[in-house]
Structure 1
Amino acid sequence: MTHPTRRALLAAALAAPAVSRAAFAQGTPAIDQLRLFVPSGAGGGWDGLARVIEKVLRETSAIGSAMVENVPGAGGSIGLPRFVAMRGRRNTLMVAGLSLVSSAIVNRSPVTASRDTIPLARLQGEAHVLVVPEASPIRTLADFVQAFRADPRGTSIAGGSAGGTDHMTLGFIAKALGIPTAQVSYVAFNSGGPAASAIIGNQVKAGIANYAEWAGHIESGRMRALGLTADARAPGVPVPTFREGGLDVVFYNWRGVFAPTGIPEAHVNELGAMIAAMAEGAPWKREAESRGWQLIYQPRREFAAFLEQEVREVEGVLKDLGLV
């Protein structure tokens, strides 16, 4: 789950077909119309990413136009089979992320993103943050680890819905510390707002969420941030990583793009080159910075390898949590 080096990114771009690089350089649209399939509802994180992809690709003349199609339901498990059925369709990309992996496991989906699509690129992600109330005697990650090990049942931790990324983060923390997940006290809420209220009101000992969701509470001092699940400190975020505190947990709520199977390899390469050029460009980085995204780009082969490992790790932690 590490950031690719600039050298690796440039190498991926240079490996793309020369005709595609020339098209980008000349400002000629590589694709007249791009179809972006989003297996979730409008307004969510995947949809937001799709809209930014459309904006940047149009702005940089990589495409002429784009159409976004939303198919919500079951964490992507309803839309994924429809995308898989688009086998052979050119100029089509699915925008999805981590929840597509976990929902397929929990729902025992007969199709999965890792097996039945072409993972094209991982683009961005959000690290999770572990926080405690302002009045908590826990001041550091080391303090939390000590308290959690001493009394895991008594260390109640708030977060989003059961089986979601907050819950999985706690599962990874428990696994890293050798604490049986049956002893973990997780308090699930249907959204970050009620969970934040429980933390600020000292109704729980700690909480986990995407950093951006609780950044305002952290900056105001109502919550104390102990650590981030990122592999490196995020720009402008004054919170150490778990690894800095001696806890080997790296976990992102990541998002990326997938191509349908059955399209020519040359066309897959052209789509990959287009996304690589977008990810390296200033307009993309500007949009990401304005939204607080952490850029964790991986090209096709790195992303595919990462996804295989991610499936194994997510399935393992969901089993530990008793959700599979």
Structure 2
Amino acid sequence: MMHRRAFLRSTAYGAAAIGLLPGLSGPAAAQTVDTLKLFVPANPGGGWDQTARSIELALKQANLIKGAQVTNVGGAGGAVGLPQFVNQWKGQGNALMVAGMVMVGALIANKSPVKLSQVTPIARLTGEFQVVVVPAASPHKTLADLVAAFKADPAKVSWAGGSAGGSDHILAGMIAKAAGGDPKKVSYVAYSGGGPALAALLGNQVTCGISGFGEFGEQIKAGKLRALAISADKRQAGIDIPTIREQGIDVELFNWRGVFAPPGVKDADRAAMIDLMTRMNASPAWAEQLKARDWTGIFLAGDAYGKYIEQENARIEAILKDIGLA
């Protein structure tokens, strides 16, 4: 997996790739977009939807767009919405789809005939570390305790998280494999969102849970959940949680999100969208959104982002095969 420092080293801005967006009367760098169309292959309120709303707000505050339209089509980790974006939004130069690592896994797990390779990579924007937690009353005080219990009897250790094949499930499988256990024996309980998973944890209905730190942060601070590990490459400022790696398990994971243009867009439109995201990423308005939502900026654009997507597909497919979902 790409190390976080490699994320930062590989940042690509594509600022020279400036074209004309539909409805513009001059160079994209000097104009605003009349209407940006944002396609979210998930229901309102989730991480991708939050990303789309943050993009809209930051672009408006930075005077880079005049308006935006957000369309939500949820289901199966993006596997329902992607075909619509590919077939019905083809060639629309002022449109972007928000997606991320969860879609990569969902498409593989659902054996979707429509692939992420059919859309046009524009930019990776944000990343979020995952955290492994247990209820406050759990006998497992450390990640080593949890892993030992799993290896002793996998069926007695239930892992709560989001959709099957998503980032939470992937991390559980990675931990099991790296610790010398059988990832196919992970007893994973998939929930529709962070809320139901949190309720199961607080009700002591599951052994442990995995989600983005933002989902569990307040309950950790309140002492209702105990954080055992975070999937970062190093300790995070202001978050007193040991990494998985420092506890002897060679695993780290970044749940990334980014944007894609439809298939069939003109080269000038692709270049203009890369430039639009580059300017947004450099804006104080976007920095405010990252801070407000506890997201880490991991900007990567254009061809470099496209290469990263290819690597992600291969990496996640291998992990899902380990888990038994591919």
Give TM-score scaled by structure 1 length. Answer: 0.86
Counterpart selection for 2:111 from 108, 111, 123: 108
Corresponding residue for 1:196? 198
Q: Which position in structure 1 is the counterpart of 2:287?
A: 285
One-letter code aligned to 2:93: R
From the superposition, tell whether residues 206 and 75 of structure 1 become closer, same or farther in structure 2 (CA, over 3 Å).
closer
Segment drifting more, 294-303 vs 276-285: 294-303
Looking at structure 2, the residues matched to 65 and 193 of structure 1 have their Cα atoms a distance apart, in angstroms, of: 31
Deviation, 1:4, is 5.8
Question: Which residue identity is paired with 1:100?
Answer: M
CA distance in 1: counterparts of 2:7 and 2:79, whole angstroms: 33
Partner of 2:101: 98
Instruction: Call closer, same or farther: CA 1:149–1:222 in 2, change over 3 Å.
Output: same
C-alpha spacing 1:35/1:202, structure 2 compared with 1 (3 Å): closer
1:62 corresponds to? 64
Question: What amino acid is aligned across from residue 321 of structure 1 in structure 2?
Answer: I
Q: Provide closer, same or farther for how the CA distance between residues 270 and 161 of structure 1 changes in structure 2, counting only shifts above 3 A.
A: closer
Distance 1:110 1:69 in 2: 22
**Contact persistence 1:4–1:297 (CA under 8 A):** no
Aligned length: 319
| Residues 196-235 of structure 1: pairs in structure 2 closer than 5 A | 196-235=198-237
- Alignment-derived partner of residue 175 in structure 1: 177
Aligned to 2:17: 16
- Match of 1:140? 142
* CA distance in 2: counterparts of 1:265 and 1:152, whole angstroms: 51
**Aligned amino acid, residue 121 of structure 1:** A
Query: Counterparts of 1:107 and 1:154 in 2: how far apart (Å)?
Result: 27
Aligned to 1:79: 81
Is contact 1:156–1:186 with CA below 8 Å preserved after alignment? yes
Instruction: Report deviation, 1:223.
Output: 1.6
Residue 244 of structure 1 aligns with which residue?
246
Where does the alignment leave 5 or more consecutive residues of structure 1 unmatched?
none
- The answer (yes or no) to whether the contact 1:3–1:298 under 8 Å persists in 2 is no
CA contact (8 A) 2:102 2:166 kept: yes
Change (3 A) 1:25 1:161: closer
The 1:232–1:118 alpha-carbon spacing in structure 2 relative to 1, beyond 3 Å, is farther
Q: Counterpart of 1:41? A: 43
Tell me how far apart the structure 2 counterparts of residues 160 and 19 of structure 1 sit (CA, whole Å).
39
Q: Matched residues in 2 for 1:38 and 1:247: separation?
A: 35
TM-score by length of 2: 0.85
1:189–1:108 Cα change, 3 Å: closer
The Cα offsets for residues 139-188 of structure 1, whole Å up to 9 and x where unpaired, read as 33344344433443333333334333322221111122231123333344
C-alpha displacement of 1:91? 1.5
Shift of 1:125: 2.6
CA RMSD across the alignment: 2.8
